[in-house]
A and B are shown apart, each in its own frame.
Chain A
């Protein structure tokens, strides 16, 4: 499986040294952001895409989303933070 196919990706340190990972994680800084726009401008779609690209969407969530999408329109995959399967 190439990296592009990975849906949910975890930090290598988690598997190697969980105590160290927790220590590092505890002191991570936080990025706070908002999306602004009118109705249907793509605010949630953008957040969904950021989650998808940063491999933060669980496999069962994406599977549920894909099933729903095929049911509604069929075809192209789209992640929307307003309509995720279980976010």
Chain B
């Protein structure tokens, strides 16, 4: 029998996340929310707005941009910043911009410079000492073992073997000068929790999560969407219209689509639950460095 006085597991997760968000605001000097415009960011932003309602959350949104995100992501980003009344900071690594770093010609350097270096530069520039990120444990193995309050050295490095104990809901935010923390308020959520929360709360998400006819090409077994004219087509190559959607969103040349007919949220959830492969399967970043890609990137300061 369902006892309505007890919280559902989703309500418990929501309460936990709101507690974390408020705890950081109480403890940190200058917090910021890393906003990447994906579904996890969407839920994290929704929770932040709820945690401080009716005021807007007392920190800005930071988008460490690569200039290679999907157009639809930039649209939703700007709309959400307007609607939430939060300040939106967009950071571009000037060196990456100058050198024209892109995912087609520069491989792993693209992520290193735009994202890892860009994030470090932005945090240093503004002097943020706590940065919320929308990572979840079930996404990737190095994220599974990372604490909710993840301490970074003054050079933003992460040492997986030197993590603080984190008991129950007691979070220790003390740090030395120059050190910072990455905080993951939705660490304990699963992919299904995220979808269900979006469904129950009508959280706005990028339309790319829903199936639609889109121009695609196939590269190395991945279906890539030709989102703008910068996509270098091979001689004789023509984009093919396919009904596709995305399980995760990143830079469009690095994010594989799945063929799908799921046009509504319950249909997307249904398809997600019926797939037998993990959500990050379509992400090129995880496969760098022989499967240890993410842990290495995190040690170097990737969020």
Contact = CB atoms under 8 A, between A and B. Distances in A.
A46 interface: no
A76 interface: no
User: Per DSSP, are chain B's interface residues mostly helix, strand or loop, or mixed?
Assistant: helix
A2 interface: no
Given A18-B270, A25-B196, A27-B8, A86 B286 contact: yes
Interface residues of A, number: 28
Contacts of B233: none
B13 to A, nearest CB: 10
B287 to A, nearest CB: 9
Contacts of A29: 9
A21 B274 CA distance: 12
B284 interface: no
A14 B274 contact: yes
A86 B141 contact: yes
Chain A CB within 10 Å, residue with most, of B141, B196, B266, B274: B141
Contacts of A19: 266
A36 B77 CA distance: 44
Nearest to A14: B273
A53 B199 CA distance: 30
A60 B2 CA distance: 36
B281 A60 contact: yes
Interface of B: 2, 8-10, 12, 137-141, 144-145, 192, 196, 199-200, 266-267, 269-270, 273-274, 276-278, 280-281, 286, 291
7 contacts: A18-B269, A27-B8, A28-B9, A58-B278, A61-B278, A84-B144, A86-B140
Interface of A: 7-8, 10-11, 14-15, 18-19, 21-22, 25-30, 58-61, 64, 68, 82-87
